[in-house]
Chains A and B, each alone.
Chain A
Amino acid sequence: MEFCDLQKIKKRQNVDFSNWLFLAPCLSVLALCAGWPLLRTVFFSFTNATLDHLSGASFIGVDNFLSLARDRDWWKAVRNTFLIAGISVPLETIFGMMVALILHQNFRGRGWMRAIVLVPWTIPTIVSSRIWAWMLNDVYGIINELLMRVSIIDAPIPWIASTSLSITSMIVVEVWKTTPYMALLLLAGLQAMPQDCFEAAAVDGVPFRKIFKSIILPIMKPTIIVSVIFRALDAIRIFDLVYILSSGNNANATMSVYARRHLVDYADVGFGSAAATALLFFIAFLCVLYVSFNQRKLQDLE
């Protein structure tokens, strides 16, 4: 008995070692490509480094973070970011759910449909944002043209020129772009669901609304939570869409646009890194908060 156990332990140690061995290439690439730049960014946020004098910089403690906290433009960027994320993520979830439910049905050409639905998500954001910028142009944009043809509006609307409208436009484009992604994640969840509940419900003649509320939602909850976390984290670091669709002023910048401006345009690596680090903390904080909040519920479900 004792002998047996010892061998088992030995065996497990071997497995552990080979596990790490197989993981090593991946981990080292991760460390080099993600870990190292991340550490460096955090490190630089405590210095007064500039783009042309990275090695000549000195430590200045938390000065960068203090002036970041005092900068009104930064808080405006934080507000904009959360506004965009806070509105677009719930909308994406709702629309994504709708699309997923439709695609879950059996109909001809379903395979094609699933592929086509993904198109907005597969176009590089920089390209689709440019296309949207042209479509939303108030002079020769097709959207104003269409709305005017059907007499919904009398005069062209400057969709991407004014602050509040341009944020609305960004949210619309963001929802358009990432709904397919949500739909895909949710569809995977739907397909993993046991079919017998549905069959039983169908036999009993339960209306769809009830099926959705009492069967689909509870079973899908973990999937939905995970998808929402993924999307929310993604939405908080939104960059390319804002960079193209906004007129570039501080009034409708997001956190990552703000960080880029200081890092690259002003060549202020120290301060820009502080902004990037703050963004990282926002993401990490939300991540921890959300996961711990849902931990109990997730465990209950399991």
Chain B
Amino acid sequence: MTVKRFNLLKKTVFFAAAMAFSWGSMAPVSADTIRLAYRSKGCEMDLVRKALDAWMKKHNGEHTVDVIILPHSSSECYALYKQWFGAGSFDIDVLQADIAWLNSFSDYWQPLDEYCQDIDQSDYFDVIRENMLDNDGRIIALPMYADCGVMYYRRDLLEKYNKKVPETLEELYETALYIQNEERKDEAKKNRFYGLVYQAKAFEILTCNFAELLDAFGGTIVKAGKAEVNSPQGIRAIEFLVKCIRNIMSSSVLNYSEEDARGMFQSGNAVFMRNWPYAYALMNDPSTAVSGKIGVMVIPPSANGGKESGCLGGWFVAVSKYSKHKELAADLARFISSKEQQKIRVNFAYLPTFKSLYSDCDIERTNPFVVSMKNMLLNAVSRPSKYFHTNYQKASSEIYNVVNIMLMDSLEDRNAEYDPGRSLKRLNEKLNSLLSQPARVPSKQNAPEASEKENSAGQDGFFKSILKGAFAFPQKG
């Protein structure tokens, strides 16, 4: 079938569908309704709704905000954004974005410098500021909260066995093994008590965990544009994980993500847990078995070189280039990422992105936990997303796949296949080939032209833009 005939078909079908759905674009969208795409993970949605109420009040109710709820999983949000932006024009003004892929959409974010001239950029953590600016140094997003991998431990158990908080990974291993063996003498805990609980499901979380572990061993994933996982540090990091999974971790961590790990730790079945700060507030709920018995520390360094670590995470808000109300959208983005709003979120263990908030006396009094996180954020390590740009998802998936399979092989009687040196070498080659591949940047003729698109954005409703995506066809050339 020729392209021409397809086009004809496309036109007919699109026309019919557009007729059927035209109510989508005819729905009353007043000039001052801002559409915000936001995730509903944990208590985030309640918090942001309160913030939105405050924002509407600030504007005397002149403007309203529509919230579009995003999927929980960060990678699903990523795919959704790809589709939305690919459709060319849609009327969502403000979007939440993960630090891991914020930069791969940099062509689609509206630079916010003109709306943010009075923001003191030096008050942001350096690692955060690096990510909120594009390659030309323009502000493309405003950080709402930061995240950082931490190690939780059971204070009561360390005290019970007279152990001190470990300062190195090796010490952590010994302590965990000792307490695990002691606790297992109790028949009820025999087969369900573990030294450490981790997340090793083949998902983004494992890339985070590997990045920070590598950092704690003094290695890095990408250095000066070249992949460096196949290093002595890389092998030591993997060997450490293997030692853990053979002795102090349940092998089911291979299928664990954050919430599974929290479930296990929260029911009192582990001494240590690697997780994000969000778990702190939830685990200290009086209904849990570990409430009031938890301590938090940085991911400790290895004894033979390395540094304290923790993988950097965090969510930003950005304004779409296709927005019809850029100024208002920027105002909303600024409002929900402002110091005042971040101070409210502190109570739910969302880490502020402003350094000055960590010396705020209210926060010091009510949330000493959050204040103690400042050092960890200063030590945090970023995932290598900026090196891979639009290829980051592929790179990340190579990493988590290889690490997950190595751990799996180390377990079974398939030990013959377990060879960290070979696996890491292969991973290194794959990462290097992704690094040398030119990232798929939009060709000029398809690049979003703000002025031209703005007009079409004015006419296209939400449904219509989705339909456009559904019927888009490549042109020859």
- By a beta-carbon cutoff of 8 Å, the part of chain A in contact with chain B is 32, 36, 40, 43-44, 47, 49-59, 133, 137-140, 148, 155-156, 158, 160-164, 166, 246-251, 261, 264-267
Give the chain A neighbours of B475 by CB distance below 8 A. Answer: 55-56
Give the chain B neighbours of A155 by CB distance below 8 A. Answer: 191
Q: How long is the Cα–Cα vector from A154 to B443 in the complex, in angstroms?
A: 61
B61 in the interface (beta carbon within 8 A): no
Q: How long is the Cα–Cα vector from A246 to B400 in the complex, in angstroms?
A: 14
Q: How long is the Cα–Cα vector from A262 to B423 in the complex, in angstroms?
A: 22
Is B202 a contact of A247 with CB atoms below 8 Å? yes
Q: How long is the Cα–Cα vector from A251 to B442 in the complex, in angstroms?
A: 33
**Tally of contact residues, B, Cβ under 8 A:** 51
A sample of 19 more A-B contacts (CB under 8 A), given A139-B264, A158-B250, is A32-B13, A50-B86, A53-B440, A53-B446, A54-B469, A55-B446, A55-B472, A58-B476, A155-B191, A156-B192, A161-B408, A162-B408, A163-B408, A247-B255, A248-B400, A248-B404, A249-B400, A265-B397, A267-B78
Is B192 a contact of A251 with CB atoms below 8 Å? no
B21 in the interface (beta carbon within 8 A): no
Q: How long is the Cα–Cα vector from A137 to B263 in the complex, in angstroms?
A: 12
- By a beta-carbon cutoff of 8 Å, the part of chain B in contact with chain A is 6, 13, 17, 75-76, 78-79, 82-83, 85-86, 191-192, 194, 200-203, 250-255, 263-264, 267, 269, 393-394, 397, 400-401, 404-405, 408, 411-412, 414, 440, 442-443, 445-446, 469, 472-477
Tell me the smallest distance from the CB of A45 to a CB of chain B, in Å: 12
Is A51 a contact of B255 with CB atoms below 8 Å? no
Is B393 a contact of A249 with CB atoms below 8 Å? no
Is A161 a contact of B405 with CB atoms below 8 Å? no
Is A52 a contact of B254 with CB atoms below 8 Å? no
11 A–B contacts from the bound complex (CB under 8 Å) = A43-B473, A53-B446, A55-B446, A58-B477, A156-B192, A158-B250, A158-B411, A161-B254, A248-B203, A249-B400, A265-B79
Q: How long is the Cα–Cα vector from A58 to B472 in the complex, in angstroms?
A: 13
* Cβ-neighbour of B393 out of A57, A139, A266 (below 8 A): A266
Give the chain A neighbours of B202 by CB distance below 8 A. Answer: 247-250
Q: How long is the Cα–Cα vector from A155 to B401 in the complex, in angstroms?
A: 28
Q: How long is the Cα–Cα vector from A82 to B392 in the complex, in angstroms?
A: 31
Tell me the smallest distance from the CB of B167 to a CB of chain A, in Å: 28
Is B412 a contact of A162 with CB atoms below 8 Å? yes
Give the chain B neighbours of A267 by CB distance below 8 A. Answer: 78-79, 82, 393
Q: How long is the Cα–Cα vector from A32 to B264 in the complex, in angstroms?
A: 47
Is A51 a contact of B412 with CB atoms below 8 Å? no
Give the chain A neighbours of B404 by CB distance below 8 A. Answer: 247-249
Ordered nearest first, which 8 A-B pairs have the shortest CB separation?
Answer: A52-B86, A57-B474, A56-B446, A249-B202, A248-B202, A51-B82, A54-B472, A158-B251
Q: How long is the Cα–Cα vector from A139 to B195 in the complex, in angstroms?
A: 13
Nearest CB in chain A to that of B194: its residue: A139
* Cβ-neighbour of B442 out of A53, A140, A161 (below 8 A): A53
Give the chain B neighbours of A166 by CB distance below 8 A. Answer: 255
The answer to whether residues A250 and B401 also contact, given A54-B474, A57-B474, A266-B393 and a CB cut-off of 8 A, is yes
Q: How long is the Cα–Cα vector from A155 to B252 in the complex, in angstroms?
A: 13
* Cβ-neighbour of A47 out of B13, B442, B474 (below 8 A): B474
Give the chain B neighbours of A140 by CB distance below 8 A. Answer: 192, 263-264, 267, 269
Is B85 a contact of A148 with CB atoms below 8 Å? no
The answer to whether residues A247 and B191 also contact, given A56-B442, A261-B397 and a CB cut-off of 8 A, is no
The answer to whether residues A251 and B408 also contact, given A43-B473, A51-B82 and a CB cut-off of 8 A, is yes
Q: How long is the Cα–Cα vector from A137 to B442 in the complex, in angstroms?
A: 45
Q: How long is the Cα–Cα vector from A138 to B252 in the complex, in angstroms?
A: 6
Give the chain A neighbours of B400 by CB distance below 8 A. Answer: 248-249
Give the chain B neighbours of A249 by CB distance below 8 A. Answer: 202, 400-401, 404-405, 408
Give the chain B neighbours of A250 by CB distance below 8 A. Answer: 202, 401, 405
Q: How long is the Cα–Cα vector from A156 to B192 in the complex, in angstroms?
A: 8
Is B83 a contact of A52 with CB atoms below 8 Å? yes
Q: How long is the Cα–Cα vector from A38 to B250 in the complex, in angstroms?
A: 43
Is A158 a contact of B254 with CB atoms below 8 Å? yes
The answer to whether residues A137 and B79 also contact, given A53-B86, A53-B446, A247-B201 and a CB cut-off of 8 A, is no
Nearest CB in chain B to that of A263: its residue: B79
Nearest CB in chain A to that of B203: its residue: A248
Q: How long is the Cα–Cα vector from A251 to B200 in the complex, in angstroms?
A: 14
Q: How long is the Cα–Cα vector from A258 to B474 in the complex, in angstroms?
A: 24
Tell me the smallest distance from the CB of A33 to a CB of chain B, in Å: 11
Give the chain B neighbours of A261 by CB distance below 8 A. Answer: 397
The answer to whether residues A58 and B474 also contact, given A51-B82, A164-B412, A247-B404 and a CB cut-off of 8 A, is yes
The answer to whether residues A138 and B86 also contact, given A50-B440, A156-B191 and a CB cut-off of 8 A, is no
